[in-house]
Amino acid sequence: MAGDLTHINAAGEAHMVDVGSKAETFRTAIAEGKITMQPATLEAVLSGNAAKGDVIGTARLAGIMAAKKTSDLIPLCHPLLISKVSVDITPDWELPGLHVIATVSISGRTGVEMEALTAVSVACLTLYDMAKALEKGMEIGSIRLVSKTGGKSGDYSLGG
């Protein structure tokens, strides 16, 4: 299995992949996650009645900032000149909770899957932090890559 992992060299040691000879292509990654909470907590978040202020706006900014800092957090990720990051946070009364989707784009030599996943993760953590005074039992979950385009490995789409 280690032979299939790009961040492991022949000696079994972790290393940063050399992307210098790869072609620059336009790449996009979309990731999603969710945070579940009690209906009263969701109502308070949506109405702006959380003690810390604008929960969703703050989480959106945190996700964007996190995407830009991914290489500082994940040891073998390349620092990237990201061209676009968007973080959308929408209520889902069936959970109940909030659904987070991050889209990251770049024209470069490596993908942005980790940046999209990091954006979702940090946005969810920020939602928790901003609303924890209302409820400590919120649950973060289902963080996953939804799709990615571009690059040598081709396109990927969840369920397809």
129 given a catalytic annotation = yes
Among residues 4, 18, 54, 129, the one annotated as catalytic is 129
130, 60 Cβ separation under 8 angstroms: no
- The DSSP result for 21-78, as a single string, is TSPPEEEEEEEEEEEE--HHHHHHHHHT--TTS-HHHHHHHHHHHHHHTHHHHSTTPP
Q: Which residues are catalytic?
A: 129
